[in-house]
């Protein structure tokens, strides 16, 4: 697993110590509230979010909780074989629909594969891209606004989830979720 590039320094971080699945879901829901608030205030904005952790750490589980907490009602599938699953999200009754693009690059053999598949256009669309295994496309992905680092604990349900913001929009989304969580 490759961490965020050394030239990027987190400007804001939040850590969740999750001992049960319900706490992982709560951490994802809190982030979902912050992302939703940020994207409602900036409906044309796009965020790139790296989702990192060892195999089996709970990346897809966290992604599922996050996307469903943002209002997606259907089944959130692992994009392991499709590489990308899009999820339309309506953040408010009056607001436009945005899309969460969930990528799983684990099976990629070459960093250029995602570009050849035509996925680059998703990185400019209003909403966000959530990328599992971003190191598989290292050097070809745009810079990340937020990094979600998941470290597995002693049991299957135990995780340390660290959220790092690397850009001002990423920081705004994390601060929004922090403010909502305190309210």
Write down the pLDDT at residue 32: 94
**CA 40, CA 24: separation in Å to the nearest integer?**
24
Please report which confidence band the pLDDT of residue 179 belongs to, taking 50, 70 and 90 as the band edges: low
The residue length of the chain stands at 183
C-alpha distances in Å from residue 55, one per residue of 78, 106, 127 = 13, 9, 26
Residue 181 has pLDDT above 50, yes or no: yes
Could you report the per-residue pLDDT of 110-137, keeping only the tens digit for each? 877 777 888 888 888 899 999 999 988 8
Who has greater pLDDT, 20 or 51? Answer: 51
**pTM of the model as a whole:** 0.89
Write down the pLDDT at residue 91: 84
Task: Find all residues with CB under 8 Å of 98, minimum gap 6, and list them.
Answer: 39, 43, 88, 89, 91, 125, 126, 127, 128
Q: Work out the average pLDDT over 147-160.
A: 89
């Amino acid at each position: 697993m490759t961490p965020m590039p050394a030239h990027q320094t987190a400007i804001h971080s939040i850590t969740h110590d999750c001992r049960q699945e319900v706490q992982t879901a709560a951490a994802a829901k809190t982030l979902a509230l912050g992302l939703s608030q940020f994207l409602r205030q900036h409906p044309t904005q796009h965020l790139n979010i790296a989702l990192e952790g060892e195999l089996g750490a709970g990346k897809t589980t966290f992604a599922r909780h996050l996307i469903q907490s943002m209002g997606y009602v259907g089944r959130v599938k692992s994009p392991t074989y499709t590489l990308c699953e899009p999820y339309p999200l309506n953040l408010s009754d009056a607001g436009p629909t945005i899309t969460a693009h969930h990528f799983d690059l684990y099976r990629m053999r070459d960093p250029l594969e995602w570009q050849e598949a035509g996925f680059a256009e998703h990185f400019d669309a209003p909403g966000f891209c959530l990328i599992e295994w971003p190191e598989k496309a290292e050097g070809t992905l745009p810079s990340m606004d937020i990094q979600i680092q998941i470290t597995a604990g002693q049991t299957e349900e135990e995780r340390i989830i660290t959220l790092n913001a690397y850009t001002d929009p990423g920081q705004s989304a994390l601060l929004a979720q922090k403010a909502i969580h305190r309210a």
